[in-house]
Structure 1
């Protein structure tokens, strides 16, 4: 329980109600003790603070003892002893954890920091708002003089810093208008605070209000010049440069004003994934960050990075690009060349200036990014040859990459493996996707659907869509349909995405993919060897290829685990009437 409130007129809250200490020397004594809780203060320090800039009476020390005596009578005890302790030449006030509102502010600020690090900006904003509501007026209103100036400066910096963090959390949570209101209030309250002006200009710029961003910079510069006689510092100058970026590019023959690309697809709600989102946000602060998210088809890689990209977009005001390399039609360098052509045109490079050579095209792309803060989402990247030419080399840019291929890793990247959702998160996602119909489904049925879909978000959304389109079906009927034949529930797009990796296989690896349909959900290399008619060593090599392609998981040192829908699609895909061992010849899926 907060006992002492100093962020405004001094109050003591106890079991019998709120006590106002009032004004005068006694209140000033309690206030100065509370500026340094649990710390011994000398009699001389206390007297100098209580009687600032005036003649100290000869009775000051005796008066001080009287004030201490009256305060002790009115304050609740601390652990059975007096709240204010004394020793020769000094006094201190004992404060327990959570008894001082300033300490409570610190606890809320730490909770907000942890929530932000965990990818939960909504909770972070709520905690920061709660902390800021602790201010009820001028802190330590009973103090005057140098002591008051020092403590007020520190608390004012704390309050303004919390407000700036609140604006960041509001923007990350998608509440841009709230962030603008918060930042405008800071700049009115503290017009010489450059960090707040810079943040305001960035938010105005990223939300498309360029004219207001430039006007805010002019206003900030006028304040600094008139009050301090200085020019804007680095942070404010950089924010101004970003706001001017569009017109600068026009002057150089680049992107016209207002045409900064914002290509991110629509954000969708996620179930779970808090740890993975937190990992993305942490990696985004590396020097030249690259985040590689890998996992099987349908597991939600694209949804995760798009969601993270929306949260991080404000930090990359010079553009957010989305490139799906899996649709390029050409693997490796051919796909990279086509992607670079589109990206260079996206930042305003005329067609006539885009080189034909891949290396030169990549070098030009890195040069263009050297003066920009750009966010790249590179989706469904097949291999390192397709990725390397697209990666930025400049600080301030961020590349979020998805792949279903586990057999490669770009140097210096943060790798995040995305697994299927657990039972509770699967049920939550399915209920959310059902909308109003989700209220009628019992938890056992929701869990059953999640289990039949193997925790794959794409499959769960397909199942919800199928139920929505069939009003006469119940959730239990949907479970029965999934038990009978999941292909009747899954969309063509989901089925194609899940067998696409199998289409690239040949020979023994193709046969191993077909074999998954007849092998148990968890098995060892000997079982696969028997199904394929090969040695255990050869079977293990084929199975490791399936792991790299996202078609199989490693359960332990010598065991493999397949996904329920992968097993079903392997059975559906395998040609009928032919022994599996015949398929390890070079034959591709039709």
Structure 2
């Protein structure tokens, strides 16, 4: 017999007697204990549930004991003892099998699963209907402190999941009208659950109600935009395409790399979203090596992907100097195959492939992420011709700009965001704040270096965060990986002689300097130094700070000091710190 009824206002059924608790404090206590039947709950947690801050009375624990005593008097015993047991620092309610209505629902759900797996769909539907009838309203209705817990969300998820399964069974039994009624009831109760809307659209399509299916999609899309500020997800988009009768063969390509958490990029992400909303065809994300351009573009692409159901592509073009860097013709060959063009139909020349690519995209909504693009010559053949597609471009070079593009510049993270990113990558929050701040400073707020430092700590479990900070302070080259160092130094070593000499000179200059100081370090005139410095700005190796001052990144300066200067290069002055080639 079910003793405790929580799927609605809390009730206790003992024989023919029914006790209702309303919003009383003993009722809140019992309901809180029933969120974890047979499990111990600490006294302080029970006090917090009964008296939310700041209304906790001085006599809270004494009052709690009184409520326990009252409940023990009114509840039937369990196995010859009190229903509510006390222990060191806490209490629990003893519940036997079948005495809690949520347990009964779980039993019915499992029986329905077994019936469905045995092909007994009609029996499964009957069991699911019986389980759903157990709900008498909102769980723990009238007990607000309990209603705010995770237990309520779990019970809501349980009910919605049962309704989805029931609708599937009803469709399988050719009870389309019943399935639609079930799904419409759920969308009314949980209007922001995309999965339910997708099932409703599919059910409407299956019952020949195409116009209603399309109307349901628009309603779901508008709700998500208004309430959450997001577009429809993949399941909803696929249901919409089914309702439209889209007959394209094969699934759309989903090539985006794994998403990673970001820190301190709210404004930049908002700029990308605005560009997509305003149908800007290209977003150019630029910044120095390691600043997180790819991470930002991929993160934004994952969130924009539902608006581009015909495919999301990711292509790394390199920086023009790495062996094996794909040329635009090879990239177009891959992209054309990705949208279903057979190999025999792909032209052999670059212009022909570019024209065919634009033609193919004229009837699609595609999201394209082009990573580490060196310049406009590599980009132009790959760009779609229509604004219904979006291209996110990352580059470390500032000296070019595509027509009509939105430009998003990434700077190194500030101290707080850098510390947050490091802690996120480390997976710990209880870290030495001063040491974390020192690491953020020594990495210069560069996300690649911060993630690399966290990875080094993972691989050195005997190190503390303070030890990592000290190692970075002693010699960043001994901590950071080759990949992070090469991301900066490879750019530098491929510079023309004059600009490369200017980079070497950064090792002997302060973090902020003027053209005259650079000219002295290089042994040339100010007029000759300026073009070299501006070239370093274009490559993301220097920044401009005000009218006539330049600012270099701490790691760029360190790597310049560590670099081996070729014969005939600028003469270095002695500097403090270790030199590691």
Q: Distance in 1 between matches of 2:546 and 2:241?
A: 58
- Alignment equivalent of 1:563, drawn from 541, 553, 556: 553
Trace 1:40-79 onto structure 2 (pairs within 5 A): none
- Alignment equivalent of 2:195, drawn from 137, 157, 180: 180
1:298 aligns with 2:290: yes
Per the TM alignment, residue 445 of structure 1 is displaced from its structure 2 partner at its CA by 1.5
Per the TM alignment, residue 489 of structure 1 is displaced from its structure 2 partner at its CA by 1.1
- TM-score for both structures, normalised by structure 1: 0.59
- RMSD after superposition: 3.4
Trace 1:176-255 onto structure 2 (pairs within 5 A): 178-182=193-197, 192=212, 194-198=214-218, 206-207=234-235, 210=238, 217=243, 240=244, 243-244=246-247, 246-247=248-249
Question: Which residue matches 1:24?
Answer: none
- Alignment equivalent of 1:471, drawn from 461, 464, 468: 461
1:547 aligns with 2:537: yes
Residues 255-295 of structure 1: CA deviation (Å, up to 9, x unaligned): xx22x210000001111101000000000123352100000
Question: Which residue matches 1:452?
Answer: 442
Cα 1:474–1:289 change in 2 (3 A) is same
Trace 1:56-205 onto structure 2 (pairs within 5 A): 178-182=193-197, 192=212, 194-198=214-218
Cα 1:200–1:331 change in 2 (3 A) is farther
1:520 aligns with 2:507: no
1:261 aligns with 2:253: yes
Contact 2:286–2:396 (Cα < 8 Å) also in 1:
yes
Contact 2:317–2:325 (Cα < 8 Å) also in 1:
no
Q: Distance in 2 between matches of 1:370 and 1:331?
A: 33
Per the TM alignment, residue 572 of structure 1 is displaced from its structure 2 partner at its CA by 1.5
Question: Which residue matches 1:375?
Answer: 367
Question: Which residue matches 1:12?
Answer: none
Q: Distance in 1 between matches of 2:203 and 2:338?
A: 38
Per the TM alignment, residue 356 of structure 1 is displaced from its structure 2 partner at its CA by 2.1
Contact 1:288–1:393 (Cα < 8 Å) also in 2:
no
Q: Distance in 1 between matches of 2:382 and 2:533?
A: 31
Cα 1:333–1:304 change in 2 (3 A) is closer
Question: Which residue matches 2:317?
Answer: 325
Q: Distance in 1 between matches of 2:526 and 2:232?
A: 62
Q: Which runs of 5+ in 2 are unaligned?
A: 1-22, 24-152, 154-183, 223-230, 573-580
Residues 21-63 of structure 1: CA deviation (Å, up to 9, x unaligned): xxxxxxxxxxxxxxxxxxxxxxxxxxxxxxxxxxxxxxxxxxx
Q: Distance in 1 between matches of 2:326 and 2:422?
A: 39
Question: Which residue matches 1:310?
Answer: 302
Per the TM alignment, residue 440 of structure 1 is displaced from its structure 2 partner at its CA by 3.4
Q: Distance in 1 between matches of 2:470 and 2:274?
A: 43
1:422 aligns with 2:450: no
Per the TM alignment, residue 577 of structure 1 is displaced from its structure 2 partner at its CA by 7.5
SS of 1:281's equivalent in the other structure is helix
Cα 1:214–1:340 change in 2 (3 A) is closer
Residues 459-506 of structure 1: CA deviation (Å, up to 9, x unaligned): 000000111111111111111111111011111111111112212212
Per the TM alignment, residue 360 of structure 1 is displaced from its structure 2 partner at its CA by 1.6
Question: Which residue matches 2:85?
Answer: none
- Alignment equivalent of 1:574, drawn from 546, 564, 570: 564
Q: Distance in 1 between matches of 2:295 and 2:521?
A: 37
Question: Which residue matches 2:122?
Answer: none
Per the TM alignment, residue 327 of structure 1 is displaced from its structure 2 partner at its CA by 6.9
Cα 1:395–1:196 change in 2 (3 A) is farther
Residues 431-465 of structure 1: CA deviation (Å, up to 9, x unaligned): 11111xx2331222211110000001110000001
1:384 aligns with 2:412: no
Q: Distance in 1 between matches of 2:536 and 2:320?
A: 23
Residues 83-109 of structure 1: CA deviation (Å, up to 9, x unaligned): xxxxxxxxxxxxxxxxxxxxxxxxxxx
Q: Distance in 2 between matches of 1:561 and 1:298?
A: 17
Cα 1:214–1:549 change in 2 (3 A) is closer
Question: Which residue matches 1:442?
Answer: 432
Per the TM alignment, residue 329 of structure 1 is displaced from its structure 2 partner at its CA by 6.0
Cα 1:312–1:561 change in 2 (3 A) is same
Cα 1:444–1:330 change in 2 (3 A) is closer
Contact 2:305–2:312 (Cα < 8 Å) also in 1:
yes
Q: Distance in 2 between matches of 1:295 and 1:214?
A: 38
1:362 aligns with 2:319: no
Q: Which runs of 5+ in 1 are unaligned?
A: 1-16, 18-128, 130-159, 171-177, 218-239, 248-256, 583-589
- Alignment equivalent of 1:289, drawn from 281, 300, 324: 281
Contact 2:281–2:386 (Cα < 8 Å) also in 1:
no
Contact 1:344–1:354 (Cα < 8 Å) also in 2:
yes
Cα 1:214–1:405 change in 2 (3 A) is closer
Residues 133-168 of structure 1: CA deviation (Å, up to 9, x unaligned): xxxxxxxxxxxxxxxxxxxxxxxxxxx9xx99x97x
- Alignment equivalent of 1:505, drawn from 495, 504, 511: 495
Question: Which residue matches 1:402?
Answer: 394
SS of 1:401's equivalent in the other structure is strand
Cα 1:335–1:503 change in 2 (3 A) is farther
Cα 1:408–1:197 change in 2 (3 A) is same
Structure 1 residues 272-281 or 193-202, which shifts more? 193-202
Cα 1:319–1:187 change in 2 (3 A) is closer
Contact 1:183–1:199 (Cα < 8 Å) also in 2:
no
Q: Distance in 2 between matches of 1:199 and 1:573?
A: 60
Structure 1 residues 317-326 or 491-500, which shifts more? 491-500
Q: Distance in 2 between matches of 1:311 and 1:474?
A: 36
Residues 4-35 of structure 1: CA deviation (Å, up to 9, x unaligned): xxxxxxxxxxxxx9xxxxxxxxxxxxxxxxxx
Q: Distance in 1 between matches of 2:364 and 2:294?
A: 24
Question: Which residue matches 2:521?
Answer: 531
Contact 1:187–1:196 (Cα < 8 Å) also in 2:
no
